Amino acid sequence: MGNPLLDISAVVDKDFLDKYTLKPNDQILAEDKHKALFEELVKKFKVEYHAGGATQNSIKIAQWMIQEPHKVGTFFGCIGKDKFGEILKHKAEEAHVDAHYYEQDEEPTGTCAACITGDNRWSLVANLAAANCYKKDKHLDLEENWKLVEKAKVCYIAGFFLTVSLESILKVAKHAAENNKLFCLNLSAPFICQFFKDNLMQVMPYVDVLFGNETEAAAFAKEQDFETNDVKEIAKKAQALPKVNTKRQRIVVLTQGKDDTVMAMGDKIETFPVLKIDPKNIVDTNGAGDAFVGGFLSELVQEKPLDQCVKAAHYAANIIIRRAGCTFPEKPDFK
């Protein structure tokens, strides 16, 4: 469950970033000053449209890794009744994801401007619009939708959704804990750890698998007064936070770009090297985190060992960064 967004990506110049005070490698929510950005991006630069939204990307990748049967992943989120909404529906279908959108006509379908500059740096500006209108009582609580949650073995929600519907997340999280299912969450962005930390910490006791990258981990550690910048230490401390379902130990998985991925479980810390790649083969690192999670979930849902989950995660991320947007070849070549 998450924010379905249509990604509008373009290679831009530094002046464009400066004009809208955008930082490279950052994700933010659009404010009034960014409204013109979307129009200017489309007018001035060569744009590509990709179905996006972090959670939806991850589910798509998990489906791609699994291949058969189709529709192993169900996705909930809110869109508008418009052209962009139709594109998202079509793209979800193409990817064999079972998307059940809450459709409303007060707000248009959400978009995310992916402003790419040289050396594989990017800045994301999300205009949530319809995605921000998801309502528990209008969608999640409906019997036909809740049945799909009950059917699920693994639930995954990106931290971005914490800004939209905390009550929906808590309903799913509590259901997972009560039924000993896996509930997975992503820190998603530094601003989630900073400005939505109360929501984040209400959900944390239910989290079985926590994902994040090194920047998010640092922001989380700072807000939680962990008093360390060491990623392994942060993973250990996050792992030890209070947990409702004591039948499962929390697993914390933190990525660090080209450096080793860190995993904490119990009092054990493991590191896994990522797959080597020649920098000149890197096209777009924007979807790497989403792809990592998708790869991980594809093995997790099949109850494979954790080191195999990380291996699949690294494989998926390695494929995605070679292409523009969160796109992939027809079939994976993962063993």
φ/ψ region of 326 (left if φ > 0, alpha if ψ in -120 to 50, else beta) reads beta
Annotated catalytic residue 119 = no
Which of these is catalytic: 13, 119, 290, 307? 290
Can you tell me the distance from the alpha carbon of 232 to that of 268, in angstroms, rounded to the nearest whole number?
10
- Phi/psi for 117 (5° steps) reads -115, 175
Q: Kindly write down the DSSP assignment for every residue of 68-87, as one continuous string.
A: SSS---EEEEEEESSHHHHH
Amino acid at 181: K
Give the containing element (helix H, strand E) for 124. strand 121-127
Determine what percent of the chain falls in helix, strand and coil, rounding each to the nearest 5: 45, 25, 35
Can you tell me the distance from the alpha carbon of 134 to that of 107, in angstroms, rounded to the nearest whole number?
11
Structure tokens at 28: 């933010």
Cα of first residue to Cα of last residue in the chain, in angstroms, is 29
Can you tell me the distance from the alpha carbon of 41 to that of 60, in angstroms, rounded to the nearest whole number?
26
Torsion of CA 161, 165, 240, 308, to 10 degrees: -40
Structure tokens at 263: 């995993």
Can you tell me the distance from the alpha carbon of 156 to that of 143, in angstroms, rounded to the nearest whole number?
20
For 245, other C-beta atoms within 10 Å of its C-beta total 21
Torsion of CA 81, 171, 296, 67, to 10 degrees: -50
Can you tell me the distance from the alpha carbon of 74 to that of 255, in angstroms, rounded to the nearest whole number?
25
Structure tokens at 211: 């994902």
Q: Residue 205 in 3-state DSSP?
A: helix
By annotation, the residues acting in catalysis are: 290
